[in-house]
Amino acid sequence: MQKLNTQAEWMMRAQAVLPAGGFGNFDPGIIIAKGQGSRVWDEDGNEYVDYLIGSGPMLLGHGHPEVMEAVLEQLPKGMTFFANNTKGIELAEAICEAVPCCEQVRFVASGGEADMYAIRLARAYTGRDKILKFEGGYHGMSAEAQMSLAPAKQVNFPQAVPDSAGIPQDVADQMVIAPFNDLEAVATLMSETPDIAAIIVEPLQRIIPATPGFLQGLRDLCDRHGVLLIFDEIVTGFRLAYGGAQEKYGVVPDICTLGKIIGGGFPLAALGASAEIMRHFDKDAIGDDKWLMQLGTLSGNPVAAAAGLKTMEVLRRAGTYDTLRAHGATLQKMQSDALGHAGIAHRICGDETLFDLYFTDAACRDYRTAKHADPQMNTRYNTSLRRHGVFKSPGKLYPSLALTDQDFELTKNAVEAAVLALTDGGSARPD
């Protein structure tokens, strides 16, 4: 029996009601029908090993039975309340126990919202306005975050370049842009700009690792200048380690933001800091003038909190992160071996828990150096991977704990076919 709605038909329907035919997140040319474990299926029934995993949240894989059980237990008790609930309180306790900088947290619905409030909190606490961020650093969709995220042209630091229409010039005037992994440049900018409230940084910037000593150097500079350090751990939290980048690198920020994994696949994020800094969310404690108003219809949603709690419980089990890192190392090696054997210049960039490759022989240290010598090679490589059953972003690969030996074998075959596509154009999907 012919399927009533093919993927092509769904794309036509999307074009009529969605700008550019999509949600703005990912390639609108694929419509995902379902996910289970390490796999997803599109509306035409094509099956893929999933290395996108919802852009990070599904670290345990899709439909993990224990997470599903926790969600199904909560659903008949209530889906949302706009009020305190026990699951949200328990999740806050678990986060504060796990994350070094967090004595208290506030919940929001998305990582971008958490980053926006973190910036506002730093300004409220310090009484200063300017924020230092790094070129290429991603911190959501706020006006501040959309400064020099992906500038098409190079300008002199610390000038901010808006990446979106609709942002007033005075927002750019409050942003100080620095090159990632250049501690000397940061030190100079901080000396020349006395009214900086905070530095916001991804400890792993997209997939670019911080060089040894860089994060500690930021910590030291912030302490010297009375500036707050914000770690955007939306991606790295509970991925690089159970305590996130703070645990892995041994550097504790003043404020951090968390998302993706703590919601177990549901919309939930948080920001956390010391009780002293978080007092700005308590009007009775801080007073009208210094109070930071924050609320959200779905903040602390009990279903999301239940999913997050169970996900975190699974992650605490012995050997979990060893397994995740082993999966990542396997995926890195199979690609590097295949590309190296073919004589194709490349760099694996990132951490075993989150990485990708650049088609270049240059070191990847910051936004301006982490790029492909020939971007078309990356397009051809990723197109071939998808044709051979591998689903991933063109710029990131997220390993998950759900991966199996069969997944690695399929991926290895897909990688070999993609390398062949780069060398002689062969890219046909096998039967």
Residues forming the active site = 138, 232, 260
Q: What residue type is 117 in one-letter code?
A: Y
How many CB atoms are closer than 10 A to CB 430? 9
Could you count the other beta carbons within 10 Å of the beta carbon of residue 266?
Answer: 19
DSSP state of 210: P
74 with 303: CB under 8 angstroms?
yes
Peptide bond into 158 cis (omega under 30): yes
The DSSP annotation for 64-102 comes to -HHHHHHHHHHGGG-S--SS--HHHHHHHHHHHHHSTT-
Q: In whole angstroms, what is the distance from residue 66 CA to residue 72 CA? A: 10
**Do 2 and 8 meet the contact criterion of CB atoms below 8 Å apart?**
no
DSSP calls for 113-139: HHHHHHHHHHHHHH---EEEEETT---
d(Cα 389, Cα 416) in Å, to the nearest integer?
12
CA dist., res. 299 & res. 266, Å (int): 11
Nearest residue to 25 (alpha-carbon basis) of 135, 117, 141, 133: 141
Bridge partners, residue 217, by sequence: none
Type of residue at 53: I
b/e per residue, 87-107, with b = 16+ CB within 10 A?
A: bbeebbebbeebbbbbebbbb
Distance in angstroms (rounded) separating the CA atoms of residues 284 and 286: 6
Ramachandran angles phi, psi of 147, nearest 5°: -105, 120
Helix (H/G/I), strand (E/B), else coil: 356: strand
* Tally of CA atoms within 13 A in the half-sphere of 318 that contains its CB: 0
